[in-house]
Chain A
Amino acid sequence: QKEVEQNSGPLSVPEGAIASLNCTYSDRGSQSFFWYRQYSGKSPELIMFIYSNGDKEDGRFTAQLNKASQYVSLLIRDSQPSDSATYLCAVGSGSARQLTFGSGTQLTVLP
Protein backbone atom coordinates (compact mmCIF):
# COMPACT_ATOMS: atom_id res chain seq x y z
CA GLN A 1 0.00 0.00 0.00
CA LYS A 2 1.52 3.29 -1.09
CA GLU A 3 1.39 5.91 1.64
CA VAL A 4 1.78 9.66 1.60
CA GLU A 5 2.05 11.37 4.97
CA GLN A 6 1.50 15.00 5.83
CA ASN A 7 1.18 16.84 9.11
CA SER A 8 -2.52 17.67 9.36
CA GLY A 9 -1.83 20.94 11.12
CA PRO A 10 -3.29 23.39 11.53
CA LEU A 11 -0.20 25.39 10.71
CA SER A 12 -0.40 29.09 11.45
CA VAL A 13 2.07 31.69 10.20
CA PRO A 14 1.97 35.49 10.29
CA GLU A 15 1.47 37.45 7.11
CA GLY A 16 4.75 37.95 5.27
CA ALA A 17 6.45 34.90 6.81
CA ILE A 18 7.60 31.72 5.07
CA ALA A 19 5.24 28.77 5.38
CA SER A 20 6.84 25.33 5.13
CA LEU A 21 4.72 22.29 4.30
CA ASN A 22 6.16 18.80 4.38
CA CYS A 23 5.30 15.43 2.88
CA THR A 24 6.89 11.98 3.05
CA TYR A 25 6.08 8.99 0.86
CA SER A 26 6.61 5.28 1.16
CA ASP A 27 7.06 4.11 -2.45
CA ARG A 28 10.71 4.49 -3.38
CA GLY A 29 9.78 4.07 -7.06
CA SER A 30 7.72 7.28 -7.09
CA GLN A 31 8.67 9.61 -9.92
CA SER A 32 6.26 12.55 -9.90
CA PHE A 33 5.24 14.85 -7.08
CA PHE A 34 2.45 17.38 -6.93
CA TRP A 35 1.18 20.08 -4.59
CA TYR A 36 -2.49 21.04 -4.71
CA ARG A 37 -4.26 23.85 -2.86
CA GLN A 38 -7.84 23.38 -1.73
CA TYR A 39 -9.95 26.20 -0.34
CA SER A 40 -12.78 25.24 1.99
CA GLY A 41 -15.73 23.89 0.02
CA LYS A 42 -13.84 23.98 -3.27
CA SER A 43 -12.02 21.46 -5.43
CA PRO A 44 -8.23 20.95 -5.40
CA GLU A 45 -6.19 23.03 -7.82
CA LEU A 46 -2.62 22.34 -8.89
CA ILE A 47 0.08 24.66 -7.58
CA MET A 48 3.24 22.88 -8.72
CA PHE A 49 4.71 19.61 -9.82
CA ILE A 50 8.31 18.44 -9.52
CA TYR A 51 10.04 15.41 -10.99
CA SER A 52 13.75 15.92 -10.24
CA ASN A 53 15.72 16.22 -7.03
CA GLY A 54 16.33 19.77 -5.88
CA ASP A 55 14.29 22.95 -5.92
CA LYS A 56 11.72 24.25 -8.36
CA GLU A 57 10.50 27.82 -8.02
CA ASP A 58 7.32 29.44 -9.32
CA GLY A 59 6.67 32.93 -8.02
CA ARG A 60 6.28 32.78 -4.24
CA PHE A 61 6.19 28.98 -4.25
CA THR A 62 9.18 26.63 -4.11
CA ALA A 63 8.90 22.86 -4.24
CA GLN A 64 11.81 20.84 -2.87
CA LEU A 65 12.36 17.15 -3.60
CA ASN A 66 14.77 14.71 -1.94
CA LYS A 67 14.20 11.23 -3.34
CA ALA A 68 16.86 9.64 -1.15
CA SER A 69 14.97 10.77 1.95
CA GLN A 70 11.55 10.24 0.26
CA TYR A 71 10.62 13.78 1.19
CA VAL A 72 8.98 16.63 -0.67
CA SER A 73 8.19 20.07 0.67
CA LEU A 74 6.48 23.27 -0.37
CA LEU A 75 7.69 26.68 0.74
CA ILE A 76 5.44 29.71 0.44
CA ARG A 77 7.34 32.98 0.72
CA ASP A 78 5.70 36.25 1.77
CA SER A 79 2.61 34.37 2.91
CA GLN A 80 -0.70 36.16 2.40
CA PRO A 81 -4.08 35.62 4.11
CA SER A 82 -5.32 34.43 0.69
CA ASP A 83 -2.90 31.49 1.01
CA SER A 84 -4.99 30.12 3.87
CA ALA A 85 -6.17 26.75 2.60
CA THR A 86 -5.50 23.04 2.84
CA TYR A 87 -2.45 21.88 0.89
CA LEU A 88 -2.46 18.36 -0.53
CA CYS A 89 0.65 16.46 -1.48
CA ALA A 90 0.25 13.85 -4.23
CA VAL A 91 2.74 11.27 -5.46
CA GLY A 92 2.75 9.33 -8.71
CA SER A 93 4.77 6.48 -10.17
CA GLY A 94 5.18 8.16 -13.53
CA SER A 95 2.99 10.84 -15.00
CA ALA A 96 -0.11 12.29 -13.36
CA ARG A 97 -2.11 9.22 -14.39
CA GLN A 98 -1.97 7.42 -11.02
CA LEU A 99 -1.69 9.58 -7.91
CA THR A 100 -1.76 8.85 -4.20
CA PHE A 101 -2.79 11.81 -2.05
CA GLY A 102 -1.84 12.75 1.48
CA SER A 103 -4.55 13.86 3.88
CA GLY A 104 -3.51 17.51 3.61
CA THR A 105 -2.11 20.25 5.84
CA GLN A 106 -4.36 23.11 6.84
CA LEU A 107 -2.53 26.45 6.63
CA THR A 108 -3.75 29.69 8.20
CA VAL A 109 -1.95 32.95 7.45
CA LEU A 110 -2.71 35.50 10.13
CA PRO A 111 -3.05 39.18 9.09
Chain B
Amino acid sequence: DAGITQSPRHKVTETGTPVTLRCHQTENHRYMYWYRQDPGHGLRLIHYSYGVKDTDKGEVSDGYSVSRSKTEDFLLTLESATSSQTSVYFCAISGQDTQYFGPGTRLTVL
Protein backbone atom coordinates (compact mmCIF):
# COMPACT_ATOMS: atom_id res chain seq x y z
CA ASP B 1 0.00 0.00 0.00
CA ALA B 2 1.12 3.52 -0.78
CA GLY B 3 0.48 4.87 2.72
CA ILE B 4 -2.85 6.52 2.04
CA THR B 5 -5.81 6.30 4.38
CA GLN B 6 -9.28 7.74 4.05
CA SER B 7 -11.84 8.39 6.73
CA PRO B 8 -14.59 7.59 7.15
CA ARG B 9 -14.78 4.53 4.92
CA HIS B 10 -18.55 4.57 4.85
CA LYS B 11 -21.00 7.35 5.62
CA VAL B 12 -24.73 7.81 5.31
CA THR B 13 -26.03 11.34 5.66
CA GLU B 14 -29.10 13.38 4.87
CA THR B 15 -29.63 15.99 2.20
CA GLY B 16 -28.54 19.44 3.30
CA THR B 17 -26.03 18.36 5.93
CA PRO B 18 -22.31 19.22 5.70
CA VAL B 19 -19.88 16.35 5.21
CA THR B 20 -16.08 16.28 5.42
CA LEU B 21 -13.95 13.46 4.09
CA ARG B 22 -10.33 13.14 5.11
CA CYS B 23 -7.34 11.83 3.20
CA HIS B 24 -4.08 11.20 5.01
CA GLN B 25 -0.75 10.23 3.41
CA THR B 26 2.54 9.18 4.91
CA GLU B 27 4.55 9.49 1.66
CA ASN B 28 5.25 13.24 1.77
CA HIS B 29 3.99 13.69 -1.80
CA ARG B 30 3.24 17.21 -2.95
CA TYR B 31 0.30 16.38 -5.20
CA MET B 32 -2.98 15.05 -3.81
CA TYR B 33 -6.31 14.51 -5.54
CA TRP B 34 -9.98 13.86 -4.86
CA TYR B 35 -11.97 11.84 -7.39
CA ARG B 36 -15.49 10.52 -7.44
CA GLN B 37 -16.44 7.29 -9.18
CA ASP B 38 -19.92 6.56 -10.47
CA PRO B 39 -21.16 3.73 -12.69
CA GLY B 40 -20.55 4.55 -16.35
CA HIS B 41 -18.39 7.59 -15.58
CA GLY B 42 -15.09 6.20 -14.43
CA LEU B 43 -13.02 8.42 -12.17
CA ARG B 44 -13.72 12.14 -12.35
CA LEU B 45 -11.45 14.72 -10.75
CA ILE B 46 -13.10 16.97 -8.17
CA HIS B 47 -10.17 19.03 -6.82
CA TYR B 48 -6.47 18.62 -6.48
CA SER B 49 -3.66 20.15 -4.47
CA TYR B 50 -0.07 20.85 -5.47
CA GLY B 51 1.13 21.93 -2.04
CA VAL B 52 0.06 23.25 1.34
CA LYS B 53 -2.73 25.78 0.77
CA ASP B 54 -2.39 25.37 -3.02
CA THR B 55 -5.48 23.84 -4.59
CA ASP B 56 -7.30 23.92 -7.91
CA LYS B 57 -10.58 22.77 -9.37
CA GLY B 58 -11.13 19.65 -11.40
CA GLU B 59 -13.81 18.56 -13.83
CA VAL B 60 -16.68 18.22 -11.31
CA SER B 61 -15.92 20.73 -8.55
CA ASP B 62 -19.37 22.31 -8.11
CA GLY B 63 -20.71 21.70 -4.61
CA TYR B 64 -17.30 20.71 -3.20
CA SER B 65 -14.53 22.56 -1.43
CA VAL B 66 -11.11 21.39 -0.25
CA SER B 67 -8.43 22.42 2.19
CA ARG B 68 -4.85 21.43 2.73
CA SER B 69 -3.20 22.88 5.83
CA LYS B 70 -0.55 20.17 6.14
CA THR B 71 1.33 18.13 3.53
CA GLU B 72 -0.14 14.90 4.84
CA ASP B 73 -3.83 15.86 4.99
CA PHE B 74 -6.28 16.80 2.23
CA LEU B 75 -9.90 17.43 3.22
CA LEU B 76 -12.94 17.34 0.95
CA THR B 77 -16.06 19.14 2.16
CA LEU B 78 -19.59 18.96 0.85
CA GLU B 79 -21.09 22.13 2.30
CA SER B 80 -24.69 20.96 1.83
CA ALA B 81 -24.90 17.38 0.61
CA THR B 82 -27.29 16.46 -2.20
CA SER B 83 -28.43 13.05 -3.44
CA SER B 84 -26.40 13.58 -6.64
CA GLN B 85 -23.26 13.47 -4.48
CA THR B 86 -23.92 9.86 -3.53
CA SER B 87 -20.79 8.20 -4.83
CA VAL B 88 -17.52 6.49 -4.01
CA TYR B 89 -14.78 9.01 -3.32
CA PHE B 90 -11.12 8.21 -3.86
CA CYS B 91 -8.14 10.16 -2.71
CA ALA B 92 -4.91 9.81 -4.65
CA ILE B 93 -1.31 10.95 -4.42
CA SER B 94 1.05 11.39 -7.32
CA GLY B 95 4.58 10.32 -7.87
CA GLN B 96 6.36 10.97 -11.14
CA ASP B 97 5.11 7.88 -12.89
CA THR B 98 1.81 7.01 -11.30
CA GLN B 99 -1.05 7.99 -9.07
CA TYR B 100 -1.68 5.83 -6.01
CA PHE B 101 -5.19 5.56 -4.69
CA GLY B 102 -6.57 5.32 -1.20
CA PRO B 103 -9.15 2.69 -0.22
CA GLY B 104 -12.14 4.92 -0.95
CA THR B 105 -15.10 6.31 0.98
CA ARG B 106 -18.62 5.22 0.11
CA LEU B 107 -20.96 8.15 0.73
CA THR B 108 -24.73 7.85 0.60
CA VAL B 109 -26.88 10.98 0.75
CA LEU B 110 -30.52 10.25 1.54
By a beta-carbon cutoff of 8 Å, the part of chain A in contact with chain B is: 4, 8, 34, 42-46, 49, 88, 90, 95-97, 99, 101-104
By a beta-carbon cutoff of 8 Å, the part of chain B in contact with chain A is: 31, 35, 40-45, 90, 94-104
Chain B residues with CB under 8 A of A49:
97-98
Q: What's the Cα separation between A96 and B45 when bound, in Å?
A: 13
Chain A residues with CB under 8 A of B99:
34, 46, 90, 96, 99
Chain A residues with CB under 8 A of B100:
46
Closest 8 CB pairs of A and B: A103-B42, A43-B101, A101-B43, A101-B42, A46-B98, A96-B98, A44-B101, A96-B99
Closest chain-A Cβ to B94's Cβ sits at a distance in Å of 5
CB pair B94–A43 under 8 Å, yes or no, is no
Closest chain-B Cβ to A67's Cβ sits at a distance in Å of 18
CB pair B98–A103 under 8 Å, yes or no, is no
